[in-house]
């Protein structure tokens, strides 16, 4: 791709890999927020205990561990399907389910190829994600008010910035993961170290942040909407079943 907008145009034409992304989003975020909530509860002696930032950091780490179980195979399917949107690339998979079935037949080990790299991406990124969100919420809360009463625009702002901070941490390992998962068998016998050496040798250190502009354009609105949806859903559930 010659740039972000060229990639956007070609993606609209090809539209490959979108089904895998849509399928993974709902369960991935459900598990992500569940892991974060569990991480907070494990560190609280009482339900109303306020956690300090290192504890929120640790809770975010648990969230990243939980999401890897879903993200590792989904990322591989998405990357393989997305490769077909390149010009003159043979259409091997007519849909994401074809790709998933093929790799299920190859065995669970092949489906989870790149799991360590996914952990290296999701664990630190999730820690930054949730800690930044909670930190921004406390800053944006007016004096004398509760963070639970934060207005929608402030939640959107905090969630959007949290998404940007998340991807600033996640982009380099995400680049390594994508290259490793779509490589032919045996190309990188030493795992991410071989991928890292090859990228830096051929494209330079800046290649680890390739696509940074496109990611930032997506990160703010998508994560702003995600956190607003989460907060609205939690308020609704607390209203419907306050003792749950």
The tens digit of pLDDT for each residue in 80-108 reads: 665 555 444 555 555 555 555 455 555 55
Tokens of 71: 């993200």
**pLDDT per residue as tens digits for the range 13-37:** 555 555 555 555 777 788 889 999 8
CATH top class, domain 4-240: mainly alpha
Q: Which of 16, 177, 173, 26 is nearest to 99 (CA)?
A: 16
Distance between CA 56 and CA 35 in Å, rounded?
A: 12
Please report the pLDDT score of residue 46 as a whole number. 84
Q: What integer pLDDT is reported at residue 74 of this predicted model?
A: 66
0.75 exceeded by pTM: no
Nearest-angstrom CA–CA distance, 203 and 199: 6
Question: Would you kindly state where each structural domain of the chain is located, as residue ranges?
Answer: 4-240
C-alpha–C-alpha distance, residues 33 and 159, integer Å: 13
Counting other chains too, the contacts that 179-186 makes at CB distance below 8 Å and 24 or more residues apart are 180/113, 180/114, 180/117, 181/75, 181/76, 181/79, 181/80, 181/113, 181/114, 181/117, 182/76, 182/79, 182/80, 182/83
- The stretches in the chain having pLDDT less than 70 are 1-24, 72-114, 243-244
Tokens of residue 12, six digits: 């609209």
Would you state the structure tokens that stand for residue 94, as one six-digit string? 């007519």
């Amino acid at each position: 791709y010659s740039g972000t907008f060229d990639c956007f145009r070609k993606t609209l034409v090809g539209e490959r890999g979108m089904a895998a992304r849509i399928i993974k989003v709902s369960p991935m975020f459900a598990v992500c927020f569940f892991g974060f909530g569990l991480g907070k509860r494990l560190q609280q002696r009482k339900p109303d205990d306020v956690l300090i930032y290192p504890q929120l950091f640790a809770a975010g780490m648990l969230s990243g561990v939980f999401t890897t179980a879903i993200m590792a195979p989904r990322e591989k399917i998405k990357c393989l399907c997305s490769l077909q949107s390149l010009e003159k690339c043979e259409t091997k998979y007519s849909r994401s389910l074809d790709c998933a079935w093929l790799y299920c037949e190859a065995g669970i080990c092949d489906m989870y190829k790149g799991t360590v790299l996914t952990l290296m991406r999701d664990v630190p990124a999730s820690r930054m994600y949730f800690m930044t969100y909670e930190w921004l919420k406390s800053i944006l809360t007016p004096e004398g008010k509760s963070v639970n009463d934060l207005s929608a625009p402030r939640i959107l702002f905090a969630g959007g910035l949290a998404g940007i901070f998340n991807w600033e941490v996640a982009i380099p390992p995400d680049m390594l993961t994508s290259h490793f998962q779509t490589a032919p068998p045996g190309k990188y016998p030493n795992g991410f170290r071989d991928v890292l050496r090859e990228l830096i040798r051929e494209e330079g250190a800046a290649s680890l942040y390739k696509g940074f502009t496109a990611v930032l354009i997506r990160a703010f609105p998508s994560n702003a909407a995600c956190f607003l949806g989460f907060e609205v859903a939690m308020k609704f559930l607390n209203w419907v079943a306050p003792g749950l």
